[in-house]
Amino acid sequence: MELYIHIPFCVRKCNYCDFLSFPAGSESIESYCRALDEEICRTAEIIYEKQEDRNTGRISTIFVGGGTPSVLAPEQIRRLFFCLRQNFSISPDAEISMEANPGTLTREKLAACMEAGVNRLSIGLQSSDDALLKVLGRIHTWEQFLDNYREARKTGFQNINIDLMSSLPGQTLSGYLKTLEQVTELRPEHISSYSLILEEGTPFFDSEDIRRRLPDEAVDREMYERTKELLHERGYERYEISNYAKEGFACRHNIGYWDGVPYLGLGLGASSYYDNARFSNEISMKKYLEHPFIPFQERQDYYVTEIKDRIEDYMIFGLRKMSGVSLSRFAGEFGVSMEKIYGGVIRRYADMELLVMEGDTLRLTDAGIDVSNRIFEEFLL
Ligand code: SF4
């Protein structure tokens, strides 16, 4: 089982962001941390009450995301992990990731993370171009990122991800490639690069000027292609549509999601998949602080998945991975062959060379990845 912990605070809201995150003062952050501790304790009680053997509910990965988890004070970071370790049975080799944003990371915080057992740091950079960072509404510069990155290495972090974005307003192909080159020179173990999507309700979505300055489709395409080439040349293996890693450093937490491993989301608005049910937490901070834990079945969106949902998820999330999906695992889990359910769709896309079958594996081809959303729709039952 995996854990996701949501820290919904940011110093300032970025202009493109529609995540559940907002600025807050230190008192609000402290109240939230206390509520989160309570939710952790109550959730673990429920999980382990049903399981006599705590090993059954062993946590294989923890991902502290946001928002900006690095807005927490060192003491709050220590307390959070102390609480998690006191209450959950965490595997000794668990992958423990924490997201951080430049401009909020300090030597003390990095030391607190390391002491608490965080073994993977995910830093949001987005671009090395200060002018672009400003347009995005980010609070940091490239220099600040570099300071944080070097400090993280000095602290001993040996597994670092850097998040990047492409197709930004006013971004040129050469500007984007410069970011990629500068980042690979630092030799992080993992790089994610996502194309900007204008999300409703954000300042970017409503701005005509921003829309006008977006790179056109051909440039967007070129950025995508060159990301694959450049990262491949520099020793990064693409293991998911937008994720690249040095050998042995693919993010286990994300692979777990795509493989259908159950996960519990703790904190404001966090969603869970547990005991074949989906549910999520309250998104109103006021209500969350009043009742940090509500029994799973009493949550508004509690939904027990049907076998049909699980089959769809298996295919759609599984095909995001370059390694694809396993036919024998499908048959073992669902008691029916993949051929019986999806034979027609698979043959059609295999003929178009968008899907390929290799032994026990079905995966998208490079051309298939480019039109993956269209193909995924065909796997809805
Ligand atoms: S730092 Fe991340 S979560 Fe926070 S506002 Fe910016 S994009 Fe959103």
Percent above pLDDT 70 for the chain: 99
Q: How confident is the model at residue 303 (pLDDT cuts 50, 70, 90)?
A: very high
Provide the terminal-to-terminal Cα distance of the chain, rounded to the nearest Å.
Answer: 27
Residue with the nearest Cα to atom 8 of ligand 1?
17
Rounded to an integer, what distance in angstroms lies between the CA atom of residue 244 and that of residue 42? 36
Whether residue 75 has pLDDT greater than 80: yes
pLDDT value of residue 370: 87
- State whether the beta carbon of 13 lies less than 6 angstroms from ligand 1: yes
Look up the CATH architecture of domain 2-257: Alpha-Beta Barrel (3.20)
Using CA atoms, how far residue 92 sits from 48, 61, 310, in Å, is 18, 10, 29
Q: Which atom of ligand 1 is nearest to the CA of 137?
A: 6
Q: How confident is the model at residue 53 (pLDDT cuts 50, 70, 90)?
A: low
pLDDT value of residue 57: 79
Rounded to an integer, what distance in angstroms lies between the CA atom of residue 231 and that of residue 218? 20
Q: In the chain, what are the domain boundaries?
A: 2-257, 307-377
Whether residue 9 has pLDDT greater than 80: yes
- State whether the beta carbon of 102 lies less than 6 angstroms from ligand 1: no
Residue with the nearest Cα to atom 3 of ligand 1?
67
Q: How confident is the model at residue 265 (pLDDT cuts 50, 70, 90)?
A: very high
At 366-378, the pLDDT tens digits run 999 989 999 999 9
Helix (H) or strand (E) holding 330: helix 327-334
At 359-368, the pLDDT tens digits run 999 999 999 9
Q: Which atom of ligand 1 is nearest to the CA of 16?
A: 7
The C-alpha angle with vertex 9 and arms to 268 and 285, in degrees rounded to 5, equals 35
**What integer best gives the mean pLDDT of the chain?**
96
- State whether the beta carbon of 21 lies less than 6 angstroms from ligand 1: yes
Q: How far is the CA of 16 from the centre of ligand 1 (A)?
A: 8
Min mean pLDDT across 44-58, 90-104, 113-127, 305-319 is at 44-58
At 117-159, the pLDDT tens digits run 999 999 999 999 999 999 999 999 999 999 999 999 999 999 9
Whether residue 52 has pLDDT greater than 70: no
- State whether the beta carbon of 101 lies less than 6 angstroms from ligand 1: yes
CATH T-level fold of 307-377 = Arc Repressor Mutant, subunit A (1.10.10)
Q: How confident is the model at residue 49 (pLDDT cuts 50, 70, 90)?
A: confident
Q: How far is the CA of 99 from the centre of ligand 1 (A)?
A: 11
Beta strands in the chain (DSSP E): 2-7, 59-66, 90-100, 120-126, 160-166, 190-195, 237-240, 243-245, 263-266, 271-274, 277-280, 303-304, 325-326, 355-358, 361-364
Residue with the nearest Cα to atom 6 of ligand 1?
14
Q: Which atom of ligand 1 is nearest to the CA of 12?
A: 5
Per the CB < 8 A criterion, the answer to whether 8 and 268 are in contact is: yes
Percent above pLDDT 90 for the chain: 97
Residue with the nearest Cα to atom 2 of ligand 1?
67
